Structure 1
């Protein structure tokens, strides 16, 4: 790969307003080949290098070499060919984040197939829609419940010829079925793929309707992962005697997790899989695997922070934790300012205070992430400036990024040694960002998808740019800040435009808040619906001796409401008075995917929430606030 040193974005302005930022690619796209070649190239160049680790039945992490992974890919690919699957057939994968998911993915590519992720938490109707719309010829599921779910829909899936179950021995079964076939068949299938071949169909989360299948090519992934790898040397490549490694707990059915898996194998970064993000399970896996960097969504980093504070409160040291957190934020802000050339760095007093709290608080935060983590890449939604500053001060630099399924994950990312808190960084090398007159973020780049499956309309475009539906702004140096969704901008009865996302993101960072939806369209003021976070609520009940209260009683408890009002006041401090939340209502239920209020990627289905809680919304506006 030909590379060059990354530089600052090329900026275009319209008067005082920056309207475009672009960064040239660091890597030239390969003229031939596909993602299917990655395991074979790795085995040829570094056969004994441990590229993956998998946990055995005793909980011990055992390495998988490049040669071993290549051999497994070939064996499973031959089984898929033996089953009669033809080049271009769609192979659906419905499972949690496991080694077998990645194995099936690469085996499918090696057999010339198009893989189709399905969230393991999908309902029967959601699963049936994706399998039918994609025309999946085969499906691999994880367990018997998923087998029953798919089997119950097979009458309406005439294209689905095969259904394999991982925990019932699907890998061994496919290996046995293909054992007599020559390896040359796999070589022939690989040779038939080009960068322009379709690699996968990833379905959108469906916040506003039926999920749509995004057609992503092998070239899309190369443009994404190769440029990201070359840019993020401190993360994807070893910068010391400690080999780079990461534990993937993001769902592989989401484009972010998928890009990470491909990128790690492409860059030969040791990869582990963690199927559960339940707090105890994930912390145990982090402690056992001990990654050097993480790919995360804000929820996980918020959870680690809130768990740390709850532990401190339980032993009577909440005030000490809060002081340590404030110092970490100030320290992190000073470090980031120094890296950007906008300050001298932490003062002597701040360094001394930071050193005092490092063994007491910050080291424990790092230990919760496995002990070796120094970098984290965060995407999915904004982390929030304060939490990013806290982690920077605690010794974990967070690189925020922004992208969509349609952009093969990241379109922007924090540049190494150039973080700017509160932004989602610069355009990824090879990408250009433009701000439309109405504030919509428009994108260009090699990672932009090839269109929607079963659609003749092509790639959506505004004067040759892909419209994201997000609202944002570029600063003078080309850093992008996302301020909301175009379709979610609220306009109050007084004509004030309000972006709900910043308020919602800040409120969700509070340990008591599970989900929140800001409302106020055509209303006299801004209000919010809140749900309670189970772990944070349980801790609060124990600390306040209110374990026996029912959900409806908790939703009206004066002490709890006062605590939540502080969280609302804190969120309001980041916006103008006209944009601030004047009233809120606590719902005695949770927003869940099963309840129809969240997508599989934890995004709010606003129309569904507004419909199902219309009475609660009307109650908020019956009496105006003082």
Structure 2
């Protein structure tokens, strides 16, 4: 058992509810811009001041009171990240109600389960399609009395309805909200079984935000500027809620963007120009691969590779220096880095708006090479650790002592312990109140004041935590070898062609992998192949391309295998024709793999993969994974 705890919290204990911060900011800095809305059909953003936000919250809260919403009532918010989400959540908290975040992409069954399990009296949706989803399950929801549709003027209707309610009523309700009152029922991703509703208090949500603002807030903004963050992570996930809390409690200008992928996000970043960036590892991986693909398509691929290598070398030397393990970058490396700063790095930062200098990653561990790359181009990535049951933050990188490849040290005010079996245990003010309607699950998770996270990790001698996987994800092969799949999957995704990877092998003679390809990079890769005509026809040309792709994927697997022992290495793999996504039920809404569902969906492919291996006449060498049989044609 290894323990680690930092000094007591450097932030004052929260007083009152989360909505108080809106009113306090309006009192202290009434003209400070706190929210930004995108002008429809335009690249311009309209700023909302602290006093305007407060007045909007009060007007909506009055409408909620007029609609019969009382302290303790639960209202679901089923919408993308948008301005209305923020103002409604603070209006609900102002009257003592509890919010229940629901992913707008949730299935009918998921919506029914959450609304019924949480006993919601109201739900806020975005559009007619969502209204129809809720309507189809209303018969099983006797508590549900209100369905508000944002795109049909729900906010204006609430404001009009509340005109008869005096503002003093809202003020009275807000003042009786205590820090330990429940603020959010946040449902787990449901990667195994039914989602569980985590009851999070106002204190739970405020504590990590206030600690981070007190100890790390200076990193969010360049001197003399107001900090700004573009919120695009779903507020339905606790990480997104934490970003919202940090911005509102810290006076950070927050813009809203509901589409976390593709060109739309890049365009929003370039126009909003945030000073700080918050995302999950898959977003950083996508950005990195996008940089690489764009460089190769413009004929500057070799330049990018050299610049990326220099960035990582520079960041590694800088890290060793700040940890007291080296002299820092040498003269030649500094000179080379300065050259690429002018020719490459500045342009890469410009793709994120040009003002970002630091960023945060959470949700799952970030690959060390990705972290070093971004630090090397001038954007330090603060990889941290948290989970739904801790309202987000548990660890963060200590300022000036950051160590890439770890998730940092435990936050002040929190305690962290690694049990003998490697499970991470935590306790502190952000640990949740329990699971709603499931006392057994609560007792199993909370043991003597400690939260059993289900995550596996290692503490080094300096107190830095490294996440090694999830207890439930550990694979036991037929020869008894235990394999944590996360590191292998992470390494595979570093190859630009590989989009997703799931390591399998429970009860099998060796470790295998299911792989999906990145469609954008695959299209580029195909275009780089030498267009040689084949006298045997199109089928022969396709076969030649397929063989080349097999070899490329095999090299990616071999590279991943080089980081583990032979018994842990991937001996067989299969490339799948479609990605894992939320729509096909193979990803959770928070973009986590539904491993059990994936193994069930592709049971025949997994069986065929191992049977093909059994037919091979020799065991492949350590750097030569097998098997890709003739039926595995990714060009179909």
TM-score by length of 1: 0.94
Instruction: Give the equivalent residue in structure 1 for 2:630.
Output: none
Q: How does 1:565-584 map onto structure 2 within 5 Å?
A: 565-584=554-573
Q: How does 1:22-101 map onto structure 2 within 5 Å?
A: 22-30=6-14, 32-57=15-40, 58-101=42-85
Instruction: Give the equivalent residue in structure 1 for 2:452.
Output: 467
Instruction: Give the equivalent residue in structure 2 for 1:159.
Output: 143
Structure-2 change in CA distance of 1:505 and 1:554 (3 Å): farther
Shift, 1:509, TM fit: 2.9
Shift, 1:545, TM fit: 7.5
Contact 1:235 1:244 in 2 (8 A): no
Q: How many residue pairs were aligned? A: 605
Partners of 1:532 and 1:194 in 2: CA distance: 50
Instruction: Give the equivalent residue in structure 2 for 1:606.
Output: 595
Instruction: Give the equivalent residue in structure 2 for 1:338.
Output: 321
Coordinate RMSD, CA, aligned: 1.8
Gaps of 5+ in 1: 1-13
Within the candidate set 104, 115, 129, 1:120 is matched to 104
Partners of 1:477 and 1:239 in 2: CA distance: 29
Shift, 1:335, TM fit: 1.2
Instruction: Give the equivalent residue in structure 1 for 2:338.
Output: 355
Partners of 1:149 and 1:307 in 2: CA distance: 35
Shift, 1:22, TM fit: 3.9
1:109 is paired with a residue whose SS is helix
1:449 is paired with a residue whose SS is coil
1:266 aligns with 2:255: no
Runs of 4+ in 1 over 4 A off after TM superposition: 553-556
Within the candidate set 483, 495, 498, 1:513 is matched to 498
Partners of 1:446 and 1:187 in 2: CA distance: 26
Post-superposition CA distance 1:505-536 (Å, at most 9, x none) = 12123322222110122222111000112222
Partners of 1:157 and 1:438 in 2: CA distance: 42
Partners of 1:566 and 1:410 in 2: CA distance: 37
Structure-2 change in CA distance of 1:508 and 1:164 (3 Å): same
Identify the range of structure 1 (575-584 vs 471-480) with the bigger mean alpha-carbon deviation: 575-584
1:433 aligns with 2:421: no
Post-superposition CA distance 1:325-380 (Å, at most 9, x none) = 11111111111111222211111111111112123321122111110000001001
Partners of 1:248 and 1:478 in 2: CA distance: 31
2:447 is paired with a residue whose SS is coil
Partners of 2:20 and 2:353 in 1: CA distance: 32
2:421 is paired with a residue whose SS is coil
2:123 is paired with a residue whose SS is strand
Post-superposition CA distance 1:245-280 (Å, at most 9, x none) = 110110000000101101111010111111112321
1:621 is paired with a residue whose SS is helix
Contact 1:514 1:531 in 2 (8 A): yes
1:582 is paired with a residue whose SS is strand
1:617 aligns with 2:606: yes
Contact 2:4 2:410 in 1 (8 A): no
Partners of 1:184 and 1:75 in 2: CA distance: 11
Shift, 1:229, TM fit: 1.1
Shift, 1:502, TM fit: 0.7
1:80 is paired with a residue whose SS is helix
Structure-2 change in CA distance of 1:545 and 1:115 (3 Å): farther
1:327 is paired with a residue whose SS is helix
Shift, 1:427, TM fit: 0.3
Instruction: Give the equivalent residue in structure 1 for 2:393.
Output: 410
TM-score by length of 2: 0.92
Contact 1:140 1:163 in 2 (8 A): yes
Instruction: Give the equivalent residue in structure 2 for 1:184.
Output: 168
Contact 2:206 2:245 in 1 (8 A): no
Partners of 2:316 and 2:365 in 1: CA distance: 17
Instruction: Give the equivalent residue in structure 2 for 1:309.
Output: 292
Partners of 2:543 and 2:46 in 1: CA distance: 46
Post-superposition CA distance 1:45-104 (Å, at most 9, x none) = 110011111111223111110000000000111111111112110111011111111111
Instruction: Give the equivalent residue in structure 2 for 1:197.
Output: 181
Instruction: Give the equivalent residue in structure 2 for 1:172.
Output: 156
Identify the range of structure 1 (193-202 vs 357-366) with the bigger mean alpha-carbon deviation: 357-366
Within the candidate set 460, 464, 469, 1:484 is matched to 469
Identify the range of structure 1 (507-516 vs 583-592) with the bigger mean alpha-carbon deviation: 507-516
Partners of 1:120 and 1:536 in 2: CA distance: 29
Partners of 2:217 and 2:145 in 1: CA distance: 44
